[in-house]
Amino acid sequence: MRVELHFTPHQIDELALRDRTVVVIDVLRASTSIANALFNGAKEIIPVTSVERAVKISGNLFGDHVLRGGERNGKMIEGFNLGNSPAEYSEEKIKGKAIIFSSTNGSLALEKARFARNVAIGGFVNISQVVAFVQEVNQDFTVLCAGNNGMFSLEDSVCAGMLVQRLSEADLDDVAFSDAAIASGMLYKGYSRNLLKMVKNSEHGKYLTGIGQADDLAFCAGVDTIPVLPQLIGSVIRVKRDTEKAEPSKTPVIS
Ligand code: MLT
C-alpha cells in the first residue's frame, strides 16, 4: 500500500484522483461537522461548492426534510439553517434530514475527489474509523487535506500525520509513504501530546477564536469521539460503516 498526501486541493487535479481511494481531511471544521451530523442521524449530506448551487438543489424541498448548512469566512451563510459549528448538528435539529452543505475548503476538497472510487471523510474525531477503512480497502490511497484557502493548514496536516503514524505502527506487510506523508507523520509526532493546543495555535484556530467560535476547537480536537465513517457515494455523503451509535470515547480533551 502506497500512501500519498496533498496538503491542499489546489495541488491536485481531480482526474489524477480518478478510481483512487481518497481520505479527505478538514479538521476545522467540515469533516467534524459532517461526522457529527451523520452520527446524530442526518439521512445524508450533499456537499456543494457554491451557495447558488445549494439554493438550487434544496429548491422547494428546503425546510421539512432538507436543511442548508455551511459557512463563508467561518460564519453561517445568509438564508441557511446551520453554520459549520459541529455542535449545531444536534440530533434534535438534523435527525432524518438531508443537509445541503457548503464550506470554503472542505467542499472544494470533496469536489476534487468526486471521480475517486472510494472517498472517506476524516478528522481526529473518527481517526480509528479511517485507519480501519484504509486497512480494509488495502489499496494505495491519497490523503487530501482541505487546507486553508489554498494554503497549508497545520491541523489537517497533523491529522494526516496521525493517520500515517497509525498505519506505520500497524502490522501491514509493505506500506510506503510519500515524502509529504512522511513529513506529516513528523509533524504529528511534534504535536501529538496536545492536539488542542496545536489547533488553538493554528491559523484557522486563531481565526475561529477571533470570531467567537473557540468552543469548536475542543470539539474538533477530540480523538475518536465520533465513531462513524462518512463516505462520499456518488455526490452524496452517507455512513456505510455504522457502529450503531457506539459510545464515543471518553478520552478527555486536554485543555
Ligand atoms: C472549510 O471548509 O473551510 C472549513 O470547514 C471552514 C470553517 O468551518 O471554518
3-state secondary structure 83-136: CCCHHHCCHHHHCCCEEEEECCCHHHHHHHCCCCCEEEEECHHHHHHHHHHHHH
Judge if the beta carbon of residue 26 lies within 6 A of ligand 1.
yes
Contacts of 193 (CB under 8 A, 6+ apart): none
Supply 130's cell numbers: 479511517
- The H or E element containing residue 235 is none
Mean pLDDT of the residues in the chain:
92
Instruction: Write down the residue that cell numbers 506529516 correspond to.
Output: 184
Using pLDDT thresholds of 50, 70 and 90, give the confidence band for residue 171: confident
Q: Report CA(29)–ligand 1 centroid distance (Å).
A: 5
The rounded distance, in Å, linking the Cα atoms of 147 and 89 is: 22
pLDDT at 216: 98
Judge if the beta carbon of residue 47 lies within 6 A of ligand 1.
no
| Ligand 1 atom, smallest distance to 103 CA | 2
The rounded distance, in Å, linking the Cα atoms of 88 and 82 is: 7
Using pLDDT thresholds of 50, 70 and 90, give the confidence band for residue 173: confident
Q: Report CA(199)–ligand 1 centroid distance (Å).
A: 13
* Interval 79-131: pLDDT, tens: 999 999 999 999 999 999 999 999 999 999 999 999 999 999 999 999 999 99
When pLDDT is averaged across residues 226-232 and rounded to a whole number, the result is 97
What is the DSSP code (8-state) at residue 16? Answer: G
Q: Report CA(103)–ligand 1 centroid distance (Å).
A: 5
Judge if the beta carbon of residue 84 lies within 6 A of ligand 1.
yes
Q: Which of 8, 31, 105, 111 to mutate to test the pocket of ligand 1 (most atoms within 8 A of CB)?
A: 105
| Ligand 1 atom, smallest distance to 108 CA | 2
Judge if the beta carbon of residue 74 lies within 6 A of ligand 1.
yes
Q: Report CA(50)–ligand 1 centroid distance (Å).
A: 13
